[in-house]
Structure formats: structure tokens, C-alpha cells
Amino acid sequence: MEWKNYVFWSAVISLISLVWHLRRKSSYRRSKLPPGPKGWPVFGNLFDLGSLPHRSLEALRQQYGPVVWLKLGFVNTLVLLSAGEAEEFFKNHDLSFLDRFTNDSMRSHDYDKISIAFGPCSTYWRTLRRVCTSELFANKRINDTMLIRQKSVDELLSWIDNELEKGASSGVVLRQFVFPALFNMIGNLTLSRDLVDPQSKISSEFCTAMDSVHECVGRPNISDLLPWLRKLDLQGIRRKMDRSLGKAIEIILKFVEERVEQRKQNPNLSSEQKMDFLDVLLNYRGTGKDEPVTLSEYQVTVFLMEMFFAGTDSTSGTTEWAMCELLLNPEKMKEVNAELARVVGAKKKLQESDIDNLPYLQAIVNETLRLHPPGPLLIPRKAVKDTNFMGYSIPKDTQVMVNCWAIGRDEDSWDDASSFKPERFLDSYINYKGQNYEFLPFGSGRRMCPGLPLAHRIVPLVLGSLLHHFDWELCDGAKSIDMRETMGAGVKLLDPLQAIPKRKTM
């Protein structure tokens, strides 16, 4: 009987809320909104998103233009689908849409309050961003840690070599080797230690937890669209997020607690050896006026966890997509191998210092990011106030999605936009640093990805090393790859790439 009463009153409250929402009189209700498809009662345009929202939203442009308005439940949503609109948004309205739009899954373990990617634009967020930019992603810091990245890539190649010695003639699942190598790379940059190997239980657990977190963050959730249903968690997304995010936090927290204990036993530890990023965070002292005085172990843990999230999944995904495109375009594979042989030499290994002399390799990375951006809708922004955008009246708290996947495939900006043509980036002024709005894999404005300088070094080094050390071919003489996508916080291959590496004769 108690459950029936709950359902009854939930229905009554829902009906009252719906009537209030439909009848409320506000200036923005009467003002001009962008065009968009008519939605269903209560659910709005939820069913227009489909399983791959970046593709479904791109299809709306032909009918409604590059600025589309949706109602996802009671959530106002603005979608931008072209470079011109993205430029107007980031150049002239960045401050008006500075906050992130967070969903129910992001509230798990207070992640939305602590995260640098999803957190509000607060004093705490500015402090973390400043520390991150000056201590981890500054050019000097990145140059100083070059050998760490080289060591991790050498380890990756060694793992695959060992697999070949075991007789892995049927091929390897690339992600199973790239992911732990990147995990170790971030581990050395932040914690000064290797953490995993391909058979490691920690690697498997963290990878599984992270995949689940990404799925929860990117999955449409009725709790976000109809907030009064949040406590019911009808799809179980919040429960799954609580478990998965909790597991990821638990893994990283152990490393933080271990360092804290070492520092207690040896107070001079951080002065006796070169500080890593964890030491920087633990040593942080703010003024307390406009910034936090110290960072708690939990805040440090979440911040480090985000470094692992951003530095492993997106990089391994980009490497996998690039390898797929090259295997499907053997003439491009031949071209980049010739460049590597010419610049690096058959008997040498690729060094990070070689990257500047490998324009075709860099063009392949750019073209891969154009066609397969790690976050096809970026991370949604939120209007901090009522705003006039390109003649449209956008209410406060509106969610804004910038479809960089659609923009990267826009025929108005790119010739033969759906084809893999790295040559388009040779001798081109276009780059992904946020000022060319037809190419925004890392976003733009004040909330663009702070890790871009590091990604700029890592992705070509990992991909180039795999190509220079091995010859690659599809399994069983296949001529095609299943390029179907699956959507979470980003887009990845539905079935991980399996390919055959063969040692090059040196």
C-alpha cells in the first residue's frame, strides 16, 4: 500500500509540474527560440537522440539548420552543428556558457563538485586548472618528462614483442596493450611509478570501471529529464555509477594513501627527490582568501583519477581509430611507413624529438581526430544567465552541445569530408588548438581540454612507434573492419580492433 501511495503522489506531482511548466509566463517563453523538431509531451525530443546522438543530431541540420533547439524532458538544449556557430559561441559567448551541464550520474561521490572537467566554474576549479596548467602541462614540465613517455612506449613495444614470441599469429587486441602502457605513462608522470602490466588485475579492474563510468556519463537517463524520478533510478544508472566510480576511486586512493604514509615516515622525502605531480598536489598551500588552503586526500584522488581517465581512454581510442583507418587505406599506411623509415631510420627507434620532422604522421593524427573526435559532443556547457545568441533568446540553465563530430564532417568546411585524407593537413594552417572552429576535438575557450599539450606529444609518439616497429595487417586476410560505434562519454569501436603485428626486419 505504501508503494501505491508513492506512485499515486508521484503521478500527481508530475502532472502538476507539467501543467505549471506548460502554462508559466516568462519573457523567454514568449521570445524567439531556435528551430527544432516538435517533441512528445513530457519526454520532449528524447526519442530523437537515438543510440548515437552525434549522428542523429547531425541529421537534423538539413531540416532545421546549424542551430537546433531540443527539449529533453524539461531540459532546454541548444545544439550547434557548424563551424560558424561554434566560432560565435566560443569567441563571443564563452563567459555566458562557462558552467558545465551535469547529469545525475556525475553527482555520484560528489564527482560534479570536485572534477576539473565537469565541476562548476568556481574558485576551486580555477585553482586546480592553474595548478594543472603550470605543473603538469607546461612546456618545461612536458620536456622534462620526455624520457618517462619514451620508457612507457618502449614497454608497450616489448609487450607486443613478447606476445609474438608466444606465437600470437592470430593477432592482438591493440587496446589491451596500449591502455596499460598509457596507464603506466600517466602513473609515472603523476606518481613516479609503473602501476600495471597487460595481465595485471589492477589494469583490468580499472579499465572495466572506467568503461562503465564513461557509459554511465554518456547514457541518456530519464532521471535527468524528469528530476522527480531521480530517487527511483529507474534505469539503474546511478547505482552502476556509484559502484564503478567508487572502484576507480578506491584504486587511485590506495596509491595516494601509500604516498601520504611514506611522507609521514620520512618528512624530507619530497625534498630528497624530484617532486612528481602527486607531491605538488599534496604540498599545495593556498591563501584561503580566494582559493582553498589545502587539498584533501579525496580531492587529490579524484583529480589524479581524472588524469588517468583523460590520458588513457581517449588516447588509446584515437590510436585504435587511426590504426583502423590505416589498415583500410594501405596506400596511407605505405606513405607513413616510408616517412618513418626516411626520418627515423630502419635501425633506430622513434624518439619524441623526431615528431616535428614527421608531417605525414601528424597529419594522420589530425585526420583521425577530425573523423573520430574522442568526445563527439564535447562536454556540454550550461547557460549561466539568459543570453541572446545569434538572434535567439537562450534561457538560463540551457544545456549546450557542440557537435564537433558533425562539424568535422561538414561539407561546407571540408572537401570530401567523409573520406580519410591526411594530405588535407599537409601545409595547412588548421590545427586542434581551439582557434580553428571547423576542427575542435579538444574544444575551445576557457574550458577546453587542459591536457592538449600532453596529448599533442603522446598520440603521435605511440602511433608512430607502433607503425615503425611493426608491420600491421588484418586478421585472416580480411579486407574490411567493423567500424560500428558504441557511445558512452565518448565514441569507441563496438568491437575492439584485432590485428596482426609482424616485426620489421632491421
Q: What percent of the chain has pLDDT over 70?
A: 91
Q: Which has more pLDDT, 195 or 500? A: 500
Predicted confidence at residue 338, as pLDDT, reads: 96
Predicted confidence at residue 198, as pLDDT, reads: 65
DSSP 400-439: EEE-HHHHHT-TTTSTTTTS--GGGGTT----SSSS-TT-
CA distance 107 to 448: 21
DSSP 25-47: --HHHHS--------BTTTBTGG
Place of cell 619530497: 270
- Does the pLDDT at position 41 exceed 80? yes
Average pLDDT of span 426-453: 93
Which of 116-120, 138-142, 266-270, 458-462 is most confident? 458-462
Q: Which residues touch 428 (CB under 8 Å, ≥6 apart)? A: none
Q: Which has more pLDDT, 362 or 136? A: 362
Number of other residues whose CB lies within 10 A of the CB of residue 395:
17
- Evaluate the CA torsion angle 368, 374, 375, 376 in order and state its sign: positive
CA distance 363 to 422: 5
DSSP 224-260: HHSGGGGGG-TTSHHHHHHHHHHHHHHHHHHHHHHHH
Task: Quote the pTM value.
Answer: 0.89
Summarised one tens digit per residue, pLDDT across range 213-262 is: 878 887 778 888 777 888 888 889 999 999 999 999 998 899 899 888 88
Summarised one tens digit per residue, pLDDT across range 111-164 is: 988 888 888 888 888 888 888 888 778 888 889 889 999 999 999 999 999 998
Q: What percent of the chain has pLDDT over 90?
A: 51
Predicted confidence at residue 460, as pLDDT, reads: 97
207 pLDDT tier (thresholds 50, 70, 90): confident
Give the closest residue to 233 by CA, choosing from 289, 247, 243, 64. Answer: 243
54 pLDDT tier (thresholds 50, 70, 90): very high
Instruction: Show the cell assigned to 368.
Output: 583521425
Average pLDDT of span 164-176: 84
Predicted confidence at residue 26, as pLDDT, reads: 44
- Evaluate the CA torsion angle 333, 319, 479, 409 in order and state its sign: negative
Predicted confidence at residue 459, as pLDDT, reads: 95
- Does the pLDDT at position 27 exceed 60? no
60 contacts 53 by C-beta, under 8 angstroms: no
Predicted confidence at residue 213, as pLDDT, reads: 85
